[in-house]
Structure 1
Amino acid sequence: MHEGSGVDLSSYLEIAARSDPGMVRSNNEDSVKTHPALGLVVLADGMGGYNAGEVASGMATTLLATELDRIFTARSPGSEGAEGVPWVHQVLAGEIARANNAILHAAQSQPQYSGMGTTLVMALFHDNKMTVAHIGDSRLYRCRGEDFDQVTRDHSLLQEQIDSGMITAEEARHSQNKNLVTRALGIDPSVEPEIHDYDVQPGDIYLLCSDGLNDMVEDEEIAMTLQMLSANLELCATQLVQMANDNGGRDNVSVIVVKIKQAFPAPRGWLNRLMAWFCK
């Protein structure tokens, strides 16, 4: 149990992760990290020649998982922030900036890593909610009962064209510009992650994935798989990767599936707990 967060979330969440090179590429430039006790999941899709993308995504997930474990072990994510910004948002933005600098420095100082970068999507579960940070076109979806929604919005040229009305969402599915992201870690000295909080409910299933899944498998098929295999997340994650590969597997494919087993409210102080007991 963590002193800072006060809750070991591994009994409240079920998590399964898979990462596969796909059917075409010889190496896997995706990287995934899960930390069930902390309620942290991180996925990155690297880009760059040779093994540079693999290095960038690996640096991003390892640095973030390590530093966030250290920080949130000492202090709860639900702590008060400054100037109206939630503390957890400040921490995520700061650690993402540090990871960005580390990847950029490696790319600039070592010729074989020149131009490398990575997307990022991560979720931290705490206090009956989920804080999501993302950069690029790796996605997070939510399956709640019969509803299946894309929570994140791609930072990509394609999304900008959809937003401006240049093309429709259906035309975007067949576009040649699918992999042109407008934000990535390790490319510029500063990067702006998008960070939001969402309430979660028991029974919710969350899917983090690289574009190797959603480019190869329709959202409707992803939703059906999550709903049908919600009782077996390990099989669900394996099946999602298999579906992408069965459809051609033109890219690396990575998934993290998270199921909310029960509510996980923030622990309260002894006085609040006593008052709650008397007011029952």
Structure 2
Amino acid sequence: MKIAYRSDIGRIRLVNEDRAWAEQQDSGLVIAIVADGMGGHQAGDVASQLAVDTFRDSLQGKTAVLSLDERKMLIRQTILQANEVIYDMASRNDQYHNMGTTVVAALIQADNGVIGHIGDSRAYMWRDGELTRLTEDHTLVNELAKSGQISPEEAANHPRKNVLTRALGTDAQVEVDVRGISWAEGDLLLLCSDGLSNMVTDEQLRETLQSNELDLDGKADRLVQLALQAGGDDNITVVLLHHADDTEQER
């Protein structure tokens, strides 16, 4: 397994409200998460940090080999635990009122994995020359597009495309989308905040991920640079997981 992740404040924002973490446990379990915070007075970075900290603390040291169904249950429970932590802090502190965060996370083991997500941070799979998006945005614009009220072109340029219909920590109860994935030699999993996916086209993603001239670290750097070159309107965070024989982690 190779792991690379990058986070950049972008060209517009004064604070980086994105947080990420990725690690391969001694048991072989690979854990990764990206969270994109929201909320005034720097509450967004508090929410995203709480999400990552809760996720990491809950899962570090997991030594047992888990079945796919057990990992689905685990990722859902862990994300819901993070929801409780964020919602509780927001309820008890006026400066954190209504803070929240997106989350996209992965638990991978052996030949399969699970993805859990809330919001518009995304997961993509690069496999055998094909790019597949694994998550569906929980946004107002996506709901309008799904119902046929606006076209895909209108959705891409809609002024309210960042309005979330679901977020972590803003409500006492939240629904987590969880799906299983297969995981084969050569596969590459991308987790990212919308600061990447809103700025970089699918074609640019494909060109970067299939490049033989870049190692995994270079691909993460290239993706961030492409988002910056496109305007860098938001914080940009990228986590790349590559199914390879050797283990390597780069920050």
TM normalised by structure 2 equals 0.93
Quote the residue 1:28 is aligned against: 16
Summarize deviations over 1:70-122 as a string: whole Å, max 9, x none: 4x22x32228xxxxxx2222222222111111101111111111110000000
Q: Distance in 1 between matches of 2:73 and 2:103?
A: 17
Give the letter aligned to residue 209 of structure 1. C
- Listed as ranges, the matches of 1:11-160 within 5 Å are 13-37=1-25, 38-70=29-61, 72-73=62-63, 75-78=64-67, 86-160=69-143
d(CA) in 1 for partners of 2:197, 2:212:
18
Secondary structure at 2:165's aligned position in 1? coil
Amino acid at match of 1:207: L
Question: What letter is aligned with 2:147?
Answer: S
Residue 164 of structure 1: which of 134, 147, 152 is its match?
A: 147
1:229–1:251: structure 2 CA closer, same or farther, 3 Å change rule? farther
> 2: CA distance between counterparts of 1:198 and 1:149?
11
Q: Is the 8 A contact 2:123 2:191 kept in 1?
A: yes
Q: CA separation in 2, counterparts of 1:193 and 1:256?
A: 20
Aligned length: 243
Return the index of the structure with the highest Cα Rg: 1
Gap regions ≥5 residues in structure 1 = 1-12, 80-85, 264-280
SS in 1 for 2:104: strand
Structure 1 counterpart of 2:237, one-letter code: S
Question: What one-letter code is carried by the residue in structure 1 that aligns with 2:42?
Answer: N
Aligned residues of 2:124 and 2:133 also touching (Cα < 8 A) = yes
Q: Please tell me whether the aligned partners of residues 78 and 127 of structure 1 are also in contact (alpha carbons under 8 angstroms).
A: no
Relative to structure 1, the CA distance from residue 120 to residue 154 in structure 2 (aligned partners, 3 Å threshold; closer, same or farther) is same
Q: Alpha-carbon deviation of 1:205?
A: 1.0
Provide the rounded CA distance (Å) in 2 between the counterparts of 1:179 and 1:46: 12
1:242 aligns with 2:233: no
Contact between 1:139 and 1:152, CA under 8 Å: does it hold in 2? yes
Shift of 1:170: 2.1
Q: Distance in 2 between matches of 1:242 and 1:50?
A: 28
C-alpha contact (below 8 Å) 1:229/1:236 kept by paired residues: no
- Contact (CA 8 Å) 1:203, 1:262: kept in 2 or not? no
Hey, what's the Cα distance between the residues in 2 that align with 1:139 and 1:163? Answer: 17
Is 1:193 aligned with 2:184? Answer: no
Alignment of 1:237-276 (within 5 A): 237-262=220-245
Q: How much has 1:136 moved relative to structure 2?
A: 0.5
Greater relative contact order (Cα < 8 A, sep 6+): 2
What percent identity do the matched residue pairs reach?
39
CA offset at residue 168 of structure 1? 2.0
2:213 & 2:243 partners in 1: Cα distance? Answer: 11
Distance 1:138 1:116 in 2: 16
